[in-house]
Amino acid sequence: MFVHDTLLNRLKRGCETMAYPAGPAPALPDRHGGALRVEAAKCQAGCAACVAVCPTEAITRPPNQAVALDLGRCIFCAECIKACPAGAITQTGDHRLAVRRRDDLVLGEAGREQLRLAVALDAKLRRLFGRSLKLRQVSAGGCNACEADTNVLGTIGWDLGRFGIQFVASPRHADGLLITGPVSKNMELALRKTYAAVPEPRIVIAVGACAIAGGPFVGHPQVNNGAGALVPVDLFIPGCPPHPLTILDGLLRLLGRLEDAPRRS
């Protein structure tokens, strides 16, 4: 009887998996401001109010130079937005944040106001991984926030497996690593061994401010300031933590599975 009721209830509820990316992207929650935009031309001369309030030193402004915001180090606390008297830093509400190069996460310099979004892997790697990508997740000293939002992608609403992307238990069965956490000294050897166990060619994805640059722990002697200090990174997905939609967008973008819509301003 119980099995019958369970099956009947499932049939009544129908498909609960979101249509994205075929349909519109789900809305971000109100407290999640999405990608940031920097309009350095608005900065007032001599002002460094945003620099003073940033807890991870993600914002710099050398004398007589434009402000620079490193979204790789940013924890998206929005304190800089509140502190800026000229409104030079704003939230866009855009979930797209993933980039291929670490330098592309720096805004404000050379007139760059918004991110250069990630491009797909080369044709050879897309042929290998485009329809079936197996990842080994490595929590390298993380607080479990990025790990939790990564796990959300496996639920019925997101159904990561429909894209051919799955997490596996062994690095020997994986095509690459998805790393979270600042890579503590205690996890350094484990990460190196896990990376070495993945067959070539392999890819590495750094998820969250900690895995990209150390996050709140940047500069601490017991962390490596992110995965890039130990292994080559192919995709950077910033956030603290990144929204599941941001992570999914980055993965699909890497595999060449997305067609871009215009950015929201």
pLDDT in tens, 36-93: 999 988 888 888 899 999 999 999 988 878 889 999 999 999 999 999 999 999 999 9
Q: Say what the pLDDT of residue 12 is.
A: 73
How many other CB atoms sit within 10 Å of the CB of residue 42?
A: 15
Question: What φ, ψ does residue 247 adopt, rounded to 5°?
Answer: -65, -45
Output the six-digit token pair for 200: 């070539």
Question: Is the Cβ–Cβ distance between 204 and 176 less than 8 Å?
Answer: yes
Q: To 10 degrees, what angle do helices 145-152 and 244-254 make?
A: 70
Of the pLDDT bands very low, low, confident and very high (cuts 50, 70, 90), residue 10 is: low
Averaged pLDDT, 90-103 = 95
Q: Say what the pLDDT of residue 19 is.
A: 87
Beta bridge partners, 178, equal 137, 205
Domains of the chain, start order: 36-95 (3.30.70.20), 123-254 (3.40.50.12280)
User: Which of the 8 DSSP states describes residue 109?
Assistant: G
187: three-class secondary structure by DSSP: helix
Question: Is the Cβ–Cβ distance between 199 and 172 less than 8 Å?
Answer: yes
Output the six-digit token pair for 222: 């017991």
Integer Cα distance of 39 and 205 in angstroms? 29
Start-to-end CA span in the chain (Å): 54
Beta bridge partners, 184, equal 223
For 164-221, the pLDDT digits (tens) are 999 999 999 999 999 999 999 999 999 999 999 999 999 999 999 999 999 999 989 9
Q: Say what the pLDDT of residue 258 is.
A: 86
Of the pLDDT bands very low, low, confident and very high (cuts 50, 70, 90), residue 3 is: low
Question: Is the Cβ–Cβ distance between 169 and 196 less than 8 Å?
Answer: no
User: From residue 127, how far is each of 100, 121, 133, 201, 240 by CA, in Å?
Assistant: 19, 9, 11, 12, 32
Q: Above 60 in pLDDT, residue 263? A: no
Q: Above 50 in pLDDT, residue 262? A: no
Averaged pLDDT, 238-254 = 96
Question: Is the Cβ–Cβ distance between 139 and 147 less than 8 Å?
Answer: yes
Tracing tokens 């990608």 back to the chain, one arrives at 35
